[in-house]
Amino acid sequence: MRIRMDWRSVTFDWNRARAFLVTAEEGSLSAAARALKLAQPTLGRQVEALEAELGVALFERTGRGLRLTPAGHELLDHARVMGEGARALSRAAWGQTEAIEGDVAISASDAYAGYLLPPILERLHRSEPRIRVEIVVSNDLSDLSRREADIAVRNVRPSEPDLIARRVRDAQARLFAAPAYLDRLGRPADAAGFSAAEFIEIDAAGSLMGLLNARGFPLTPENFPYRCRNFTVMWEMVRRGLGLGILDDRIGDSDPQVERAVPGFAPIDFPVWIVAHRDIARSRRLRVVFDALVEGFGG
């Protein structure tokens, strides 16, 4: 026997519950309005209308913004369950189509998006011209469960149970520099000869110095006059002769303006994974793009 829900007991607008959830998660009306692509006054009215419908205050208005009330805290978990249900419904419906057309969002680091992804997308467009690709450029992990992207290129294996992943290759990172810069250094033959060289740090934590010191480079913070959290910008600095940088050798070896900086330098190995939500099984469009990425990054 089917149990029917008593819809008369639902006395609020579901869209307003979404407004409450996003406002609570984003921390302010302005941030939530940007996330939902709504005007801030419109979003504020939705939250106020939900409070009136439920008969409780969800937020305290303070000089610094909004703070959840005890009732708001208690209802937030229920709103999150609704949000997850809505996302699951959206994924299921969106993935049902068998047509190889429509939008696909791919998340990749700026280096992969700029240097390795374009030829893969060129081949994909020739074979499937009705697929429209959005490139989500981020050096952080996109949340595929929340549809920040459909497919991601990562260097770490996902731990989330609702994601699937294919390890396509073990990449190698090497040190590169402009030939003129190496000439100025006298082209050192080993790691010890780089004590006066400049390096470009790509990690905010400064991990490159520790990694290279462990490999015999006698480096101090003075060897790192530049820090940049964008691989593309770092690479342009290397090409212009500002110092040495480390990058996937598929990118470095294909660039005629740089060369491997250290003869015999043992490369740093790291995996390349193509990752997607399990719902990819219901969409030919996503499977086609996933397979193209596996072939392109694994070849």
Residue ranges per domain, the chain?
Answer: 14-95, 102-170+271-298, 172-268
SS3 266: coil
Instruction: Provide the 8-state DSSP code for 115.
Output: I
SS3 251: helix
Domain 14-95 has CATH 3.10.310.30: no
Specify the fold of 172-268: D-Maltodextrin-Binding Protein; domain 2 (3.40.190)
Backbone angles phi, psi at 238, to 5 degrees: -65, -45
Residues of the chain with pLDDT under 50: 1
The pLDDT assigned to 246 comes to 94
The pLDDT assigned to 114 comes to 93
The pLDDT assigned to 222 comes to 95
Strand pairing report for 65-68 and 59-62: antiparallel
The pLDDT assigned to 94 comes to 53
The domains spanning 102-170+271-298 and 172-268 adopt the same CATH topology: yes
Instruction: Provide the 8-state DSSP code for 99.
Output: S
Find all residues with CB under 8 Å of 164, minimum gap 6, and list them: 275, 276, 277, 278, 280
pTM of the full predicted structure? 0.65
Class of domain 102-170+271-298: alpha beta
What distance in Å separates the CA atoms of residue 66 and residue 162, rounded to the nearest whole number? 33
What distance in Å separates the CA atoms of residue 58 and residue 198, rounded to the nearest whole number? 54
The pLDDT assigned to 122 comes to 96
The pLDDT assigned to 90 comes to 63
The pLDDT assigned to 40 comes to 83
